[in-house]
């Protein structure tokens, strides 16, 4: 009986203590926050010397090796331009750099198999790629096993860096940073808004981060409609969203799909501002997209624009500029570290902050550019 009494008293004390703190907000603190701990590689290999008998320095490329490709052409053009410049400057100890592409229009089968093939059979020293979040995740599976540095030039999907792979680096900031910029803009405007989001990998990744950013700002859309992409009817979903009478519409979709949606939205008579994710900046002709605001991923200097246009006959977009920076970082890392995979990884990490054509690139603990993002009107 005394033991039962002591147990009841202890239980009552616990309940009263919980009740006394029920009205107080408490934020649990983790014992160890891995997000703030720089990822490192602690394995062997740093003592291996440069191999003998090489005729070139091969850098893998996961994307289409075609400057005119509608999705990845700008990335290939930007990376190729950096490699051409490096070779004019003497390459690596007289050896030329060469991009070795691996790709298939079905990257989940032939593409990733080709990437594994060049990784193990062609002695590449690092990889640039992929061309979006989904393909970069595929490449991540290869480099994690092969212990090979990968620099992602274009994908903003933050989950690329949540697997704890120390070989991954991204030249572009993550979706969370972009989404926070949109959330702040909506809060400061204090206007009603609705959201259209596509269902591809990158759109879902960004929408998830935007949902969190809106929750922090205590904002709720009038309507959130999902669009199935090119198979869907943009006119129907545009009428549905415009019918909710928002003052601002947020569109999350691949660049070309965003254009179709915005055109359909304007056809309904909606004249307000449209906010989008960064991919809209990949559209080369933007004169018809008035009052579109997006998170800019770096101002491209005039000198780089002219150099790129002279080489490729057209203007670069942000993916070309970031691919140029990705290739430039790898060239500098090889020159600093030699032909040794672990030391190249270390050198890429040590080059931060790196002054690129897109601005300062500074890695966070997980290897993603921590650069700030501002909203800009599409021009």
* pLDDT tens digits along 221-264: 999 999 987 767 899 999 999 999 999 999 999 999 999 999 99
From 75-79, 186-190, 193-197, 283-287, the region with the lowest mean pLDDT? 283-287
Dump pLDDT digits (tens) for 215-228: 999 999 999 999 98
Asked whether the predicted pLDDT for residue 19 surpasses 80, the reply is no
From 171-180, 228-237, 327-336, the region with the lowest mean pLDDT? 228-237
**Cα dihedral sign, 32-162-360-146:** positive
Q: Is 47 exposed, middle or buried (0-12, 13-18, 19+ CB in 10 A)?
A: exposed
Q: What is each CA distance from 183 to 66, 140, 154, 200, 262, in whole angstroms?
A: 37, 30, 22, 22, 20
**Cα dihedral sign, 109-115-118-123:** negative
Q: Which CATH superfamily is domain 175-296 in?
A: Response regulator (3.40.50.2300)
Confidence of residue 5 (pLDDT cuts 50, 70, 90): very low
pLDDT at residue 3 in the model:
43
DSSP string, 32-64: --GGGSPP---SS-TTPPPPSS-S-EEEEEES-
Asked whether the predicted pLDDT for residue 18 surpasses 90, the reply is no
Instruction: Look up residue 357 and give its DSSP letter.
Output: T
DSSP string, 67-82: TT-TTTHHHHHHHHHH
C-alpha–C-alpha distance, residues 43 and 258, integer Å: 45
Asked whether the predicted pLDDT for residue 378 surpasses 50, the reply is yes
Asked whether the predicted pLDDT for residue 26 surpasses 70, the reply is no
From 2-16, 26-40, 65-79, the region with the lowest mean pLDDT? 2-16
In whole numbers, what is the pLDDT of the chain averaged over residues? 90
pLDDT at residue 32 in the model:
60
Asked whether the predicted pLDDT for residue 204 surpasses 80, the reply is yes
More confident residue, 297 or 25: 297
Confidence of residue 1 (pLDDT cuts 50, 70, 90): very low
Can you say how many angstroms the Cα of residue 75 is from the centroid of all Cα atoms in its chain?
A: 13
Asked whether the predicted pLDDT for residue 16 surpasses 90, the reply is no
Mean per-residue pLDDT, 132-155: 96
Dump pLDDT digits (tens) for 262-300: 999 999 999 999 999 999 999 875 556 889 999 999 889
pLDDT at residue 25 in the model:
52
Asked whether the predicted pLDDT for residue 22 surpasses 50, the reply is no
Asked whether the predicted pLDDT for residue 6 surpasses 50, the reply is no
Instruction: Look up residue 160 and give its DSSP letter.
Output: G
Dump pLDDT digits (tens) for 335-369: 999 999 999 999 999 999 999 999 999 999 999 99
In sequence order, the 6+-apart residues with CB closer than 8 A to the CB of 231 are: none
Asked whether the predicted pLDDT for residue 14 surpasses 60, the reply is no
Give the domain ranges of the chain: 57-173+300-377, 175-296
pLDDT at residue 122 in the model:
93
Q: Which CATH superfamily is domain 57-173+300-377 in?
A: Response regulator (3.40.50.2300)
Asked whether the predicted pLDDT for residue 23 surpasses 60, the reply is no
C-alpha–C-alpha distance, residues 352 and 343, integer Å: 15
């Amino acid at each position: 009986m005394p033991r039962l009494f002591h147990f009841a008293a202890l239980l009552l004390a616990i309940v009263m203590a919980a009740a006394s703190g029920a009205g107080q907000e408490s934020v649990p603190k983790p014992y160890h926050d891995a997000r703030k701990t720089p990822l490192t590689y602690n394995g062997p290999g740093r003592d291996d010397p440069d191999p003998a008998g090489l005729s070139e320095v091969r850098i893998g490329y996961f994307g289409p090796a075609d400057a005119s490709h509608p999705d990845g052409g700008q990335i290939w053009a930007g990376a190729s331009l950096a490699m051409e410049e490096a070779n004019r400057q003497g390459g690596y100890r007289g050896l030329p750099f060469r991009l070795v592409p691996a790709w298939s229009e079905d990257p989940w089968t032939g593409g990733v198999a080709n990437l594994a093939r060049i990784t193990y059979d062609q002695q590449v020293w690092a990889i640039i790629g992929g061309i979006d979040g989904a393909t970069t995740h595929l490449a991540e599976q290869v480099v994690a096993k092969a212990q090979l540095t990968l620099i992602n030039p274009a994908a903003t999907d933050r989950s690329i860096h949540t697997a704890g792979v120390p070989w991954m680096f991204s030249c572009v900031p993550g979706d969370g940073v972009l989404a926070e910029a949109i959330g702040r803009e909506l809060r400061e405007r204090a206007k009603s808004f609705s959201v259209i989001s596509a269902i591809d990998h990158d759109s879902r990744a960004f929408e998830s981060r935007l949902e969190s950013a809106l929750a922090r700002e205590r904002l709720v859309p009038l309507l959130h409609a999902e669009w199935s992409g090119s198979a869907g009817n943009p006119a129907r979903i545009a009428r549905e969203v415009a019918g909710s009478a928002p003052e601002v519409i947020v569109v999350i979709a691949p660049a070309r799909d965003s254009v179709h949606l915005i055109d359909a939205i304007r056809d309904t008579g909606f004249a307000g501002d449209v906010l989008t994710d960064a991919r809209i900046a990949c559209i080369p002709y933007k004169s018809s997209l008035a009052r579109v605001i997006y998170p800019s991923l770096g101002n491209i200097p005039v000198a780089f624009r002219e150099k790129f246009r002279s080489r490729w006959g057209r203007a670069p977009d942000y993916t070309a500029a970031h691919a140029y920076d990705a290739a430039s970082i790898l060239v500098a890392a090889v020159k600093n570290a030699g032909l040794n995979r672990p030391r190249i990884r270390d050198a890429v990490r040590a080059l931060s902050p790196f002054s690129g054509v897109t601005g300062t690139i500074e890695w966070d603990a997980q290897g993603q550019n921590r650069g700030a993002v501002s909203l800009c009107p599409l021009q």
